[in-house]
Structure 1
Amino acid sequence: PAPEGPALAAATLQAALDGLDARNWAARPDRVAVLRSALAGRGGVIRKALTETAAFDQTAQTLPGPTGESNRLSFHPRGPVLCLGPSAEIAVAQAVQALGAGCPALIVAPGATVAAEGLAEAGVPVIDFDGVVSPETVAGLRGIAAVAAAGDSDWTRSIRLALAGRDGPIVPLETRSIAPERYVVERHLCIDTTAAGGNAKLLAASA
């Protein structure tokens, strides 16, 4: 079901988004440790989010190059994430996964201020609000890279339609409560080391 509470003004949310800066946070290798310390003692979906985020390996991978080329797969923060719950605990769990990936997070849900207690004090790039966000407001927010709203309901469908009507880059909607891999983007870099496809022996064979 859709969360119930006072609807936040678009200007308030936009100002919060504009003030989030995760550049220093994204460079920290101890992000998950900081989150665990800030949310120590939490159970349920928040604890599961911490566990799954810690288990998700974001280390760059060197992939096989059949003809000698260099292939490297790396993971990078998706960008600012709007975490809508619908419950405060789920919204914090969504933020944990976003923050673990190096993304800034904006949490909006009834009871979010209490549920997110400890995060801002830990120096992580997060802002929380008690309340709800209308689909129309979501459609007009600038600078969001993803929206997290768990479940399959008329509420999530209305958010999906709002996102589909936006101009510019596609903003994905994550409807699973736990999916840390959805808060990163993958980049694959392939470098051919020779004009023959990477293997210098192929050049010698054709000479």
Structure 2
Amino acid sequence: MDARGEIVKWQDSLSRDEGIGIEADGSSSSTPDGLTTRLRTAASQIRSLEREYDYLRLWADGYGLFSGELDKILAASKRLRHSTNRLLVGICQTLSDNDLKEDDRRSLSLKSARVRDITEAAVYILRGDEGSDNDSDAESDSESARGTSSIEDIIDDLKTNIQCLVDLGPRYEEPIQDKAVAEEEAVSAPQPTIHWDLA
């Protein structure tokens, strides 16, 4: 159910309530769908979103996302780069494609619109990066993130994608290099020299 539907449902529950007052125990006077329950749920959801944001920031700081360290790791492994990019695109799609009605789209800030543009470009790049075998994966990720979702679904999607990023940790520590990258490093590595000067 989208946010507008939640508001309508809440308004209907208020009109059915005998009274709108809050009893001493903090619960709504007549139904569990009262204002206090909704406020508690909203506060819980905000805490969940903040927790996932903090978890993502820890991951980003830990692997040097903003300093370029992660880029160096990903440059050596196409498979690891693709997995990481797919998860990051999934997070961006979850955050930018859900519950955006026409009015909401008009009120997006320039930064939010830029995230949406980058996400769309990244989906296109991911489709070309791995060839036709993974086209269906990128499309299904893109399609599943779009549309209206409940806030719980959005939180679950974020939690799943962020946990998958964290689970890639051992691969970042010791990435399996692409064959071409490994050969290039072997050629460019300084070779031991033999000094034939016997004098």
Specify the TM-score bucket, using the shorter chain as the normaliser: under 0.3
Q: Mark the structure with the bigger radius of gyration.
A: 2
More strand by share: 1
* TM score, norm. by length of structure 2: 0.23
More helix by share: 2
